[in-house]
Structure 1
Amino acid sequence: MNSPITAFATAFVILQFVKIVVPALLTSFRITRNRRRHREPFEPKATVIVPCKGSEPGLEDNIRAFLNQEYRDYSLLFVTESGSDAAYAIIKRIISQHSRPARMIVAGLAKECGQKAHNLCAAVQSVEQDAEVLVFADSDAHPRSSWLAELCAPLSDPAVGATTGFRWYIPIASNFWSILLSSWNAQGLVMLHERSLFAWGGSMAVRTEDFRRLGIERIWRTALSDDLSLSKAIRGSGLKITFVPQCLVATYADLNMRQVLEFTTRQISITRFYRRDMWWQVVAAHSLYTAVFWGGLAVAVSEIPSATFDGRLIIPLAAIMTLSACHLWSRLALAIHCLPEDYSANLIRTRLAFVSTGPLVTLVYLYNIVVSCMTRRITWRGIVYEMVSPSEIKVIRPSNPAE
């Protein structure tokens, strides 16, 4: 009775192997084999802008990592919403103890755009005139010492408009939901390559000239998403966005179910407004996976009591799980190679739990997709936003500066 379902599941296994697993394995093999990519030296004067909010886990270590980059000439701008923000005093103290040129900026409350975009606009206005490259990073990210040099190097190619790294979540207490979030996030690596679909705002760089010419600051003044709006402008100009795997950055995660679902849904909701093409790719991939794997599993379980049960459907379902694990394993190998060595032990300790979460991750994505179709409101860092269009948002509830 389930022969057509078995055939369809088998076809999906082949598709998954050819389109997802093989490219992922080849990419990870190529990067880990060539431990140091040989690039022509390119270290233009750079300004690193880091928006900050609150005292996050690992904040002090992260700030010191940004201050200790192996790069010839760069300065840093740290920006907070208010001087009473918990991060302000911490960062002020650290930069006062360091010789690297760094400043603190207070941006004030956002009224017509996302608070992060507002903070970035305030910082951009303070960039030195001779800065050739603008680099944007998140305060909860921990980069390796070569991060800045690796991120800027591809910009020597005029065809490259922006470079990007990506985050990798490190579960603090190895709890289930943090591991699931790490796996969920790792799926985004599928869209990152030599011609990436987007740049991630926690680790991205752009030439100052292109930033000004494309009017990114003007775009940000009415935008919620800094990175997706920048990505759209870069790609719209005919330039490409290049993923630099060595610029993966570590971010601690210690979240419960509500926090994971809120975060993941926010990401998908923002994607739906700014990059509908990417959103549809997510819809297609995870809807198909859910239908084949979970639908096939339901059929197989329902037929177990039947006298006609032959178990053939179990084979492609097991293959789907195995290929999902191989895909996640390749991403994990990439992270272990590219992240600072301090995080390797944590990643290795949770590797079995991580690679087994593939089928559950797709259910989270399905939940994200459904909710993203039902609401235009999201909560981000204590602020509620209503997304009217990619160029218009409403700030429903201003954040508490003391938060």
Structure 2
Amino acid sequence: MLVYFGVMYLHWGKGCIRLYQEQGSQPERHDYQPRAVVLLSLRGHDPFLVNCLEGLLNQEYPEYAVKIIVDHVDDPAFPFVNQYLETHRHPHCQVSVLESRSVNCGLKNQSLLQGLSEVSEDVDVVAWLDADVVPHRTWLRDLVQPLQDESVGVASGIRWYAPREANVGTLVRYIWNSAAVIQMLAMDIVWGGSIAVSSRIFRNPRLAESWSKMMWEDTCLNSLATQLDQKVVFVPAVTMVNEESTSLKSCFQFMTRQLMNVRFYHSRWLFICGLGLLSAVAEMILIAELGLFLNQGNLLWLGIILSVVAFASGSVGYVVYRLDCQIRALLAQRGVNVERLPLSTVLVLIPTLLVYCAALLAARRTNHIHWRGVIYHATAPFEIQIVHYEPYQIAAKSIEQTGQSHSSII
């Protein structure tokens, strides 16, 4: 099983690395600049929100509008954004509050649906990003380029973590995401943190119909694009770096939410889950047997097991290292220098494996999701219900301390 796992990652990794190499070898093309609208959904004041706004409002793009949809009038992000815009005006930036609230889909979906409903007929592309994304000056131009091909309906950026701090939770998230990115690129799992869709997608009524009943907005775009004979394309130039740190608990909750998204809305969930669980369990068993044979002095089996574990771990490590080098080179072209993590990061490989296994199991059985003061009851992909809502409060901890059970993820 581990040998198969290693071979798969080498195969997937080859395609990922080629994607970045082709990006670097081709001359930059920014000739396609359709009229675009960028949506930013806000709930709470993210640490990098000011950086996000600064980058978003200063794009090297001729005709684009920005629509910021804040969850509630009492949300701390609302006065912050308005105050920011007083000193950093943008001719086509509109701030609004979520007007109609549904209990049958995620809050981000509701904000995006409101933004889409206000898009004029002359708009050709709609993009959106998360508040923890810091867009570079050519972010929008880079993102929309693939959409000039009429067979492409979705252009997705890529999430990459480059943490400044090296605590356990942050390192586990970095290692897991690095390996997950390879699967995402191989299986067309798009990332809603930086994404653009053509009018062939966002004007189709199936999109609004789906979003109005779903928890998340991004992973489902692959199946929708397939139904409409459209392709999904990943844009290496829109590899967005996140430098935030996190705790181990928050990392586990984040991983579980990501895996729940795949479980609900991606056709290859069973393959992803099975491959992850079987590979992790197999590696843990082999590591245990490694200690047993070492104690017995059985050098033959000791060598065999060491070879298998080294091949599987080395395959993933090699691909991640090559991908990391490609991404660092890309970031250097933007003038962004990211420090390498210490060699001691390898000591977190086993904890990452354990947390990943736990997150996979949790994603299979979880039906309650807690996120920023909101509790969702999610029993099926299109059976979503908000069972508790309150405006976001920075210091509010009460709701996170209630309703927690074995089937809940915050």
TM norm. shorter chain > 0.5? yes
**Structure 2 residue 370 is the aligned partner of structure 1 residue 379:** yes
In structure 2, runs of 5+ residues without a counterpart are 395-410
Which of these residues, 293, 297, 313, is aligned with residue 321 of structure 1? Answer: 313
Letter in 2 for 1:167: R
- Give CA-to-partner distance per residue, 1:286-329, whole Å, 9 cap, x none: 22322332221111101112143343122332233322221221
2: CA distance between counterparts of 1:133 and 1:17?
34
Which of these residues, 113, 126, 130, is aligned with residue 118 of structure 2? Answer: 126
Q: Is this contact kept in 2: 1:141–1:202, CA < 8 A? A: yes
Letter in 2 for 1:370: L
Q: Is this contact kept in 2: 1:39–1:153, CA < 8 A? A: yes
Give 3-state SS (helix, strand or coil) of 1:171's partner.
coil
- Give CA-to-partner distance per residue, 1:248-302, whole Å, 9 cap, x none: 1122322111111111111112221222x33223223222322332221111101
Which of these residues, 327, 330, 333, is aligned with residue 322 of structure 2? Answer: 330
Partner of 1:63: 53
Partner of 1:281: 271
Distance of aligned partners of 1:22 and 1:231 in 2 relative to their CA distance in 1, 3 Å threshold: closer
Question: Once structures 1 and 2 are overlaid, which stretch shifts more, 298-307 or 165-174?
Answer: 165-174
Partner of 1:153: 145
In structure 1, runs of 5+ residues without a counterpart are 1-7
Question: Once structures 1 and 2 are overlaid, which stretch shifts more, 91-100 or 384-393?
Answer: 91-100
Distance of aligned partners of 1:397 and 1:68 in 2 relative to their CA distance in 1, 3 Å threshold: same
Distance of aligned partners of 1:353 and 1:66 in 2 relative to their CA distance in 1, 3 Å threshold: farther
Give 3-state SS (helix, strand or coil) of 1:345's partner.
coil
Partner of 2:401: none
Distance of aligned partners of 1:391 and 1:291 in 2 relative to their CA distance in 1, 3 Å threshold: closer
Distance of aligned partners of 1:172 and 1:17 in 2 relative to their CA distance in 1, 3 Å threshold: closer
Give 3-state SS (helix, strand or coil) of 1:305's partner.
helix
Question: Once structures 1 and 2 are overlaid, which stretch shifts more, 336-345 or 85-94?
Answer: 336-345
Partner of 2:383: 392
Partner of 1:211: 202
Letter in 1 for 2:120: E
**Structure 2 residue 243 is the aligned partner of structure 1 residue 252:** yes
Give 3-state SS (helix, strand or coil) of 1:292's partner.
helix
2: CA distance between counterparts of 1:159 and 1:368?
36
1: CA distance between counterparts of 2:346 and 2:328?
14
Which of these residues, 7, 19, 43, is aligned with residue 15 of structure 1? Answer: 7
**Structure 2 residue 138 is the aligned partner of structure 1 residue 136:** no
Q: CA deviation at 1:130?
A: 1.6
Letter in 2 for 1:395: I
Letter in 1 for 2:390: S
Which of these residues, 83, 92, 95, is aligned with residue 82 of structure 2? Answer: 92
Letter in 2 for 1:47: V
Q: Which TM-score applies when normalising by structure 1?
A: 0.88
Distance of aligned partners of 1:196 and 1:283 in 2 relative to their CA distance in 1, 3 Å threshold: closer
Q: Is this contact kept in 1: 2:30–2:142, CA < 8 A? A: no
1: CA distance between counterparts of 2:147 and 2:29?
11
Q: CA deviation at 1:147?
A: 1.2
- Give CA-to-partner distance per residue, 1:48-69, whole Å, 9 cap, x none: 0011122211210111101111
Q: CA deviation at 1:395?
A: 0.8
Distance of aligned partners of 1:254 and 1:70 in 2 relative to their CA distance in 1, 3 Å threshold: same
Partner of 1:4: none
Distance of aligned partners of 1:397 and 1:65 in 2 relative to their CA distance in 1, 3 Å threshold: same
Q: Is this contact kept in 1: 2:68–2:96, CA < 8 A? A: yes
Letter in 1 for 2:338: A
Distance of aligned partners of 1:245 and 1:100 in 2 relative to their CA distance in 1, 3 Å threshold: farther
Q: Which TM-score applies when normalising by structure 2?
A: 0.87
Which of these residues, 227, 234, 257, is aligned with residue 236 of structure 1? Answer: 227
Give 3-state SS (helix, strand or coil) of 1:260's partner.
helix
Which of these residues, 82, 91, 102, is aligned with residue 93 of structure 2? Answer: 102
2: CA distance between counterparts of 1:185 and 1:145?
25
**Structure 2 residue 225 is the aligned partner of structure 1 residue 271:** no
Aligned length: 389
Q: CA deviation at 1:21?
A: 4.2
Distance of aligned partners of 1:352 and 1:398 in 2 relative to their CA distance in 1, 3 Å threshold: same
Q: Is this contact kept in 1: 2:106–2:214, CA < 8 A? A: yes
1: CA distance between counterparts of 2:35 and 2:235?
19
Distance of aligned partners of 1:196 and 1:214 in 2 relative to their CA distance in 1, 3 Å threshold: farther
Question: Once structures 1 and 2 are overlaid, which stretch shifts more, 392-401 or 309-318?
Answer: 309-318
2: CA distance between counterparts of 1:106 and 1:202?
20
- Give CA-to-partner distance per residue, 1:180-210, whole Å, 9 cap, x none: 11221222322444x8523211111111343
1: CA distance between counterparts of 2:204 and 2:64?
22
Give 3-state SS (helix, strand or coil) of 2:38's partner.
strand
**Structure 2 residue 335 is the aligned partner of structure 1 residue 345:** no
- Give CA-to-partner distance per residue, 1:47-95, whole Å, 9 cap, x none: 0001112221121011110111111110101111112211112222223
Give 3-state SS (helix, strand or coil) of 1:75's partner.
strand
Partner of 1:165: 157
Q: Is this contact kept in 1: 2:29–2:145, CA < 8 A? A: yes
Partner of 1:189: 181
- Percent of residue pairs identical: 21
Q: CA deviation at 1:174?
A: 2.6
Q: Is this contact kept in 1: 2:76–2:392, CA < 8 A? A: no
Give 3-state SS (helix, strand or coil) of 2:376's partner.
strand
Letter in 1 for 2:264: F
Letter in 1 for 2:314: T
Partner of 1:290: 280
Partner of 1:3: none
Q: CA deviation at 1:342?
A: 6.1
1: CA distance between counterparts of 2:95 and 2:153?
28
Partner of 2:402: none
2: CA distance between counterparts of 1:124 and 1:30?
33
RMSD of equivalent CA atoms? 2.4
Letter in 2 for 1:52: L
Distance of aligned partners of 1:315 and 1:255 in 2 relative to their CA distance in 1, 3 Å threshold: same
